[in-house]
Homo-oligomer: A and B are copies of this chain.
């Protein structure tokens, strides 16, 4: 029997790009010694968050509150917005899925940068959307070109990450605000701020929940160290936020994650300590790269793109050689970004493993 899939599904590729480090470990037959590929926070969540989750594990028999009330209100207070303007969901990836389903009918154009966050594109594709792209400019996403592209194609969504993944680059708040101000009518800017806590001050434009042209995405997966919890949120105009109720999985957020997120949000001290450790780790990564004759890109995130100085094939070989030496790293998918490998902020121990492996890896790749 052949299955009667929808026309959209029939067109989707059957192979997907999602390979976790665990799959690589199983294939290699041994564990990584440094897990630096997924921009997770190796410094872990707040001890208060851990305790809150451990306590809540006893209550795991109860469904989580479908309104995410307590966390939503805490986030609203933290960001100085109304709770009606906050949507809590199953990580930014889950929220991208809902956003695509709200806006992307089959064939609808969606504007992004060539080489930008692939999971956004993946979610758009599952709705039959048509991705249109502009290249990065000097390793930055290009706001003006994105706006022009969106106007040209009458795109329903624009994606911009600030700071950016995979390059770590960023725009100042004024530039992003000018982009918001010029979003064409009928287009929504999906502003992915997953890494904003690591960025220098002056990177994040003020939140204006009266502005219907932008939806801002944040997460507990990065600075808060709760990637495994699947907890993200979006901030936007109340009418837009409410529209997600039409199709979101109302009981979809894990109860233990809700408790962890609430405690993490309250622990500013831990957050600041993580941000400091990440800044030190970025410097150390740059130092290690420099010791090997390589340069790094400035980063406003918890990872650093190391320019391997040649093409994507070469960087791919460097990456493979690092993986073979038990260092989990990843790299951008398209040229010219793929001359780089992407190394997440690690502990001192992690980065010593990396420092020890890199010279051999470079030699093996040459």
A91 to B66, CA, bound (A): 14
Contact: B20 with A61, CB < 8 Å?
no
Specify which chain B residues have a CB less than 8 angstroms from the CB of A35 in the assembled complex.
Answer: 62
Residue in A7, A45, A228 with the greatest tally of chain B CB atoms within 10 Å: A228
Do B45 and A61 touch across chains, with their CB atoms under 8 A apart?
A: yes
The answer to whether B54 and A41 touch across the interface, beta carbons within 8 angstroms, is: no
A60, B22: Cβ atoms under 8 Å? no
A104 close to chain B: CB less than 8 A = yes
Interface contact A93-B249, CB-CB below 8 Å: yes
B5 contacts A126, C-beta separation under 8 Å: no
- If A126-B247, A257-B254 touch, whether A3 touches B101 (CB-CB below 8 Å) is no
* Identical subunits present: 2
A28 proximal to B (CB < 8 A)? no
Complex Cα distance, B361 from A6, in Å, reads: 49
Tell me, in angstroms, the Cα distance from A6 to B102 when the chains sit together.
6
A356 contacts B by Cβ under 8 Å: no
Answer yes or no: A94 CB below 8 A from chain B CBs.
yes
Across-interface contacts of A336 in B (CB, < 8 A): none
Closest to A63 in B: B227
Q: How far is the CA of A253 from the CA of B9 in the complex (A)?
A: 22
A213 to B257, CA, bound (A): 36
Contact B50 A245 (CB under 8 A): no
26 CB < 8 A contacts A-B: A3-B102, A3-B240, A4-B103, A6-B102, A12-B247, A16-B246, A18-B250, A20-B63, A20-B65, A26-B69, A38-B62, A38-B63, A40-B63, A43-B61, A44-B58, A50-B58, A53-B256, A54-B54, A57-B256, A59-B228, A60-B229, A61-B228, A90-B90, A91-B252, A93-B251, A230-B254
**Given known contacts A3-B103, A18-B250, A61-B226, what 15 new A-B pairs fall within 8 Å (CB)?**
A4-B156, A5-B102, A6-B108, A9-B101, A9-B243, A14-B243, A23-B66, A23-B67, A35-B62, A45-B57, A50-B60, A54-B57, A93-B252, A228-B254, A228-B256
